[in-house]
């Protein structure tokens, strides 16, 4: 291609806005990540003001945004090392610091140092969970499952609980807040497998049924948001234990299902000699 032709091609690309459009595509997932981080910050601000009913839904919005930014990055081909690190840092705020402060202000304040130490355990577990997820190689992973409770699901437990009962915990039953914080924290760093919905396929034969289930969930959230979100959060938390018991039961049943070798069969094999083969 001659020099004038190259100049004309460059002018066409510049006039059509292709470089700017490409930059915009790469910026789009980061905008969702930024919105995710902003929701975590808003949750902290409203939790410090004692407005728990306003603070808790921001974590739910952050969960939705966190689900979208990765999918948009893969669909547009805008994945990058910067996006991965930025997403993890935003998740530490939205799914680590924000739910810990929300739970502390909601039910752990009266316990003093023990209360804020429990919140710090949650933050540490979320950071460790995210760091472990980042260094795991995709070649050795089963994409159908997460190893340990995902940090968005862990943050959803205190968020849904506070959203369902935003009046705060006092007196002796404030100790229930420890379970709301510590149980998801320890599950995040565990090796219990949780089902991943990243393989959700709308082109499968079951796509119509899956879409109908999604519609039922949306309708339930729209009509009874507090009850529905609590049920979803705790059902997913318990699903790891159900899967663990189910897998161990199958492992024990597998050896029992194997055919037993009788002594007569062993003698027949031993007496056959090389000529049998």
pLDDT digits (tens, 9 = 90+) for 40-78: 999 999 999 999 999 999 999 999 999 888 888 878 777
Q: Which two tokens stand for residue 174?
A: 């404030």
Task: Say yes or no to pLDDT of 1 above 80.
Answer: no
Looking at residue 5, its pLDDT comes to: 53
Predicted confidence (pLDDT) at residue 86 exceeds the cutoff of 70: yes
Judge whether 106 and 66 are in contact, CB under 8 Å: no
Q: For 36-40, 133-137, 219-223, which range has the lowest pLDDT when averaged over its residues?
A: 133-137
pLDDT at res. 271: 43
DSSP 144: T
Asked if residue 4 belongs to a domain, the reply is: no
15: which 2 tokens? 């006039």
What is the rounded average pLDDT of the residues 171-198?
Answer: 90
CB 177 within 8 A of CB 157: no
* Domain residue limits at 221: 13-259
Which of these, 159, 149, 126, 148, lies nearest to 230 by C-alpha position? 159
Name the residue with higher pLDDT: 161 or 269: 161
Partner residues linked to 195 by β-bridges: 145
Chain-wide mean pLDDT for the chain?
A: 82
Rg for the chain, CA atoms, rounded: 26
Bigger pLDDT: 7 vs 252 = 252
Q: Report pLDDT for 41.
A: 98
- Please report the pLDDT score of residue 220 as a whole number: 93
Which positions ≥6 away from 118 have C-beta within 8 Å?
Answer: 104, 108, 111, 178, 181, 182
Instruction: Flag whether pLDDT at 12 surpasses 80.
Output: no
Inform me whether the pLDDT recorded for 182 exceeds 50: yes
Give the pLDDT confidence score for residue 273 in this predicted structure: 47
Residue 277 falls within a domain, yes or no?
A: no
Please list the residues that pair with 146 across neighbouring strands: 194
Question: Which residue did the predictor score with more confidence, 123 or 2?
Answer: 123
**How confident is the model at residue 152, as a pLDDT?**
94
pLDDT tens digits along 108-133 = 998 999 999 999 999 999 999 999 88
Residue-wise DSSP of 206-264:
THHHHHHHHHHHHHHHHH-HHHHHHHHHHHHHHHHHHHHHHHHHHHHHHHHHSPPPPHH
Does 228 fall in a domain?
Answer: yes
Let me know if residue 139 belongs to a domain.
Answer: yes
How many whole angstroms separate alpha carbon 100 and alpha carbon 178? 11
Domains: count for the chain = 1
pLDDT at 128: 95
Q: What is the mean pLDDT of residues 183-197?
A: 91
What pLDDT score does 201 carry?
A: 60
Domain presence at residue 2:
no
Lowest mean pLDDT, pick from 37-41, 96-100, 271-275: 271-275
Q: Which of 170-174, 254-258, 268-272 has the lowest mean pLDDT?
A: 268-272
**Is 249 part of any domain?**
yes
Tell the burial category of 152 from Cβ atoms under 10 Å away from its Cβ (0-12, 13-18, 19+): buried
Is position 180 within any domain? yes
Residue 273 covered by a domain: no
Q: What is the distance between the alpha carbons of residues 111 and 88, in angstroms, rounded to a whole number?
A: 30
The pLDDT confidence band at residue 83, using thresholds 50, 70 and 90, is confident
DSSP class of 110: G
pLDDT > 90 fraction of the chain, expressed in percent and rounded: 50
Q: Alpha-carbon distance 52 to 103, whole Å?
A: 9
pLDDT tens per residue across span 213-223? 888 999 999 99
pLDDT over 50 (residue 203): yes
H/E stretch holding 146: strand 145-147
What is the domain-level CATH number for residue 177? 1.20.120.1760
Question: Rounded distance, CA 174 to CA 12, Å?
Answer: 66
């Amino acid at each position: 291609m001659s020099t004038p032709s190259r100049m004309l091609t460059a002018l066409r690309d510049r006039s059509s806005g292709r470089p700017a459009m490409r930059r915009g595509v790469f910026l789009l997932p980061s905008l969702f990540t930024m919105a995710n981080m902003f929701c975590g910050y808003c949750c902290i601000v409203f939790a410090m003001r004692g407005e728990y009913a306003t603070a808790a839904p921001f974590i739910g919005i952050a969960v939705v945004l966190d689900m979208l930014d990765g999918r948009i990055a893969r669909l547009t081909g805008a994945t990058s090392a910067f996006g991965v690190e930025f997403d993890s840092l935003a998740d530490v705020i939205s799914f680590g610091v924000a739910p810990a402060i929300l739970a502390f202000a909601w039910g752990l304040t009266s316990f003093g140092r023990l209360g804020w130490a429990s919140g710090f355990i949650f933050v540490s577990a979320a950071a460790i969970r995210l760091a472990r997820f980042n260094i795991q190689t995709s070649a050795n992973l089963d994409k159908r499952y997460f190893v340990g409770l995902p940090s968005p699901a862990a943050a959803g437990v205190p968020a849904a609980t506070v959203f369902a009962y935003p009046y705060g915990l006092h007196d002796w039953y404030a100790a229930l807040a420890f379970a709301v914080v510590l149980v998801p924290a320890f599950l995040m760093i565990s090796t219990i497998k949780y089902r991943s919905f990243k393989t959700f396929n709308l082109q499968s034969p079951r796509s119509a049924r899956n879409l109908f289930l999604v519609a039922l969930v949306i309708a339930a959230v729209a009509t009874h948001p507090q009850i529905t979100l609590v049920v979803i959060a705790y059902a997913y938390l318990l699903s790891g234990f159900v899967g663990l018991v189910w897998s161990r039961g199958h492992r024990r049943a597998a050896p029992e299902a194997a055919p037993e070798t009788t002594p007569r069969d062993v003698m027949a094999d031993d007496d056959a000699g090389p000529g049998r083969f």
